[in-house]
């Protein structure tokens, strides 16, 4: 049986977030958007799509901060053709992640991470999980505080 082990808390402050609002909720729209980004050699990492309401949805994703202007331009270039309501961006984000083996079989890891951030009043903007990593996008101004608190919460020291 897997034992939950958090072996590290990491961070990355080199990304930015792009949100495309009012995306028509129909097949092929996301493919068209992400193809436009790929054609500009922009690597997309975390992606979150909201639940559809009134036939539209919002899609947020992270890109390398150095590619932010190109990513926004690519999305805006599709706005008229695809019917997006708007494109916004945030270059002051950071990702904080827990890394370890066995986390998928121990739901307490996720709860502890979220509780720790909540106790500090840190808002989670995006969440991504895998069997070995739980990542949250937070405001860059609080990433150091988040790192210290998560290290303490999981007994990892400094």
Q: Which CATH number does 8-13+92-153 carry?
A: 3.30.70.260
Q: Which DSSP string do the residues of the chain spell out, in sequence order?
A: -------EEEEE-SEEEEEEEEEE-STTHHHHHHHHHHHTTPPP--EEEPPPBTTEEEEEEEEEGGGHHHHHHHHHHHHHHHT-SEEEEESSEEEEEEE-SSGGG-THHHHHHHHHHHHTTPPP-EEEE-SSEEEEEEEGGGHHHHHHHHHHHTT---
Determine contact, residues 150/113, Cβ cutoff 8 Å. yes
Residue 52 pLDDT exceeds 80: no
Among 18, 143, 157, CA closest to 84? 18
Window from 1-5, 39-43, 91-95 with minimum mean pLDDT: 1-5
Q: Give me the pLDDT at residue 2, please.
A: 47
Q: What is the rounded average pLDDT of the residues 49-56?
A: 83
Q: Is 5 exposed, middle or buried (0-12, 13-18, 19+ CB in 10 A)?
A: middle
Domain boundaries, the chain: 8-13+92-153, 16-90
Q: What is the rounded average pLDDT of the residues 125-129?
A: 93
Q: How far apart are CA 123 and CA 136, in angstroms?
A: 9
Answer yes or no: same fold for 8-13+92-153 and 16-90: yes
**Global confidence as pTM:** 0.89
Q: What is the rounded average pLDDT of the residues 59-83?
A: 95
For domain 16-90, the CATH class is alpha beta
């Amino acid at each position: 049986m897997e034992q939950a082990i958090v072996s590290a808390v990491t961070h990355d402050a080199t990304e930015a977030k792009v949100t495309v609002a009012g995306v028509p909720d129909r097949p092929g729209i996301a493919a068209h958007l992400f193809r436009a980004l790929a054609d500009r050699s922009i690597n997309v990492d975390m992606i979150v799509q909201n639940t559809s309401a009134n036939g539209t949805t919002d899609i947020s994703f992270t890109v390398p901060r150095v590619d932010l202007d190109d990513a926004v331009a690519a999305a805006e270039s599709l706005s008229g053709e695809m019917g997006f309501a708007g494109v916004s961006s945030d270059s002051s984000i950071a990702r904080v992640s827990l890394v370890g083996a066995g986390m998928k079989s121990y739901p307490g890891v996720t709860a502890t991470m979220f509780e720790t951030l909540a106790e500090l009043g840190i808002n989670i903007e995006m969440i991504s999980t895998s069997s070995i990593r739980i990542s949250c996008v937070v405001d860059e101004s609080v990433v150091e505080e988040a790192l210290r608190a998560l290290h303490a919460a999981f007994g990892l020291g400094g």
